Structure 1
Amino acid sequence: MNFDLTEEQQMIKKMIRAFAVEEVAPGAIDRDRTKVFPVEVFKKLSEMGLMGLPFSEKYSGGGADTTSFAIVTEELSRACASTGITYSAHISLGGAPIHLFGTEEQKEKYLTPICTGESFGAFGLTESNAGSDAGGTQTTAVEDGDDFIINGSKVFITNASYAKNLALTAITGVNNGEKEISAIIVPTDAEGFTIIDNYEKMGLNASNTTELILDNVRVPKENLLGVRGNGFKQFLVTLDGGRIGIGAMAVGIAQAAYDRALQYSKERKQFGKSLSQFQITQFKLADMALKIELARNMVYKAAWLKDQGRPFSKEAAMCKLYASEIAMENASEAIQIHGGYGYMKEYEVERYMRDAKLLEIGEGTSEVQRMVIARLIGCG
């Protein structure tokens, strides 16, 4: 058993950490306040060849593995979680479904611009009545000659304002009383397609979160992604990979919170000693470090299994569940160690808590992860 990163992974980690420190972190506080999307950051990531990191070089990707994707996501999130979630969704929700289920023509047409950074990746799944119960999808795609006519809406969709095309789920028929849900690639500039970006969020303020309205949007049948009626299965596979991204994000936030708390505890004096000299603070920091180590190993294991072509659904759910919950715990402890200053925005730790909370909700809530794990270990 070898826990060493490969030379390529070490190189990527060194490169992205330097980039995150120099280019991403300095503007994180301002972006959180102004809610400005980090366009310039992603232009530079495109120039570095990281926007298609785990996809084939045939489509202008980097040909790297899932662990490398997790490393980049963690380091970006450590500096700015809004940047981290944008990157993670771009790869795991935007690019992955086309990579996994698209035809050769679809990959060349839709995956290549995602890999080059010309378009951001996005995925239209969640609806107002279809969150954890994604089977509650109400968006429809009705056949009309050689086209589908799509009507419906999607909510909480990441990156859509910056995507030229996105895959979304819709009901393409009903078989024996069961909805036939399919995935269809839709151009965001199609007539009748409206993107609304006006959510007031608790955190991740510099990320793009939108509502999609589809009013008689016409797309050719050739835009069907994968097998008709397999949309439900396809998005479950997609979410498995996405949970590795969420886990990596959570590790990045947890690490950032720990770093800030450790630094502050050494600088802050109380009763003639630094906070780090008090055993109660030492125990808090030890627990934070322990949780980060466990969460990161879980993320790497899930990523490794995925790259080996082995089942990884259970491990993806576990890493997402555990990492997201310890990110919240570490953020809370970091605030506590900072005392009153932790409640002030200039010290940043309160942002970690606001950003981390979404990770216990998005791509399957903590409760759903426990349901998934229970099913996969043979319960019920």
Structure 2
Amino acid sequence: MKAHLTTNENGARPLEGVRVLDFTRVLSGPHCTRMLSDMGAEVIKLEPPEGDLTRFAFPRVGSMSTYFAQQNIGKKNISMDLKKPEAIALIKQLVVHCDIVVENFRAGVMDKLGIGYEVLSEINPRLIYAAISGYGNSGPWVHRRAYASVVNAETGLTGLQADARGGEVSNDPHSHADVYTGMEAASAILAALFQRTQTDVGQYVDVSMAQTMLYVNEHVQNELFTRPVPADQIRSFQPGEYPVLQTGDGRHVVISGHPAERGTYDLFVKAMNKPELFDDPRFSDVASRLKNFDDLLRILVEWAAAVPTADTLEKICADSGLAMGTVRTMEELAQTEWATARHVLIDADDRSGDTFRVPNSPWVFSGSNTSTRGVPKFRGEDNAEVLTSILGMSTEEVQQLTDNGALSIRLPKK
């Protein structure tokens, strides 16, 4: 596994010395804690005996799900039955030695287990406790079930995408609400960690998926703006109307910029080398260009089709001040010189004697190595190591807890 190219690849990771107890599952929480792990934190993922749901996702290599591995690589793994009082006692002991707890249960679950924030912060006042949920841990929707597709629908994203598709309502294949919320939770945790250096006290951090989707949606202000907008203005950039074109070699490309926008129109005219369009009454101003937008798009489509390759079109666009991207598959991107130079993918150990590819962390620090490290773990694989090294338990005590069901472990059959 290659590290990022930095000025100090052996430098300490930014979060070295920070320990995280991770109760999260599926995506929002695991992505948050993977970020913390890549930054250097020791993340101890705690799974129930039935395992994280994503362990059963495909593709699979041997006993390892690639979906699970992408979000949980580099973390230690312990497995407990939190219905057992012995497991709850272990959690309370572990929290003494942890800086951060992250969970993404529905509101009240951790409290019912006897390990909510009020209990754990009494044990460790410096503890930062982050709770990720669909609609937050207060308010009338506190007990609603939530996954990314549901939150996407509730917060307007699905509807806005339907508008861009001519009214066809369908689910987005990507779990935006989960991933964005994981990132916002990680940011909040880092802020709380910094504030603790000044106060020496931890705090409770409540992160809502629904509020996150409003926070990261740059068009919320436009959707809620009720006053009139002049006909010669394009509201909130309207990136859904940026042209998708096809070059002579059959490749689809996206050019960033609204062709009808003031100033941007000039760049498109320059790229097409069609100065006569400046005198065309159909396109004399923004309002006219919007009225005749289909005609303008038709001219752009015909122009792009006459350009032999996507690479040629990108050079033309760049020379005219326009950004252009080629519509690629993940595999095509993986084969680019850019992907190689930036180490954007790593070969993750599949725990069966081979590897598969997952994304590397996106940060390149000048004084630290923040590339993804470690291997994906099996459920409960680190029970003994964590409990003996952190709590000083004997191997006999760990075995006794395993025998009575408080601890659980599932390793692949040899």
With structure 1 as the length reference, what TM-score do the two structures score? Answer: 0.24
Q: Higher helix share goes to which structure? A: 1
Superposition TM-score, scaled by structure 2 size: 0.22
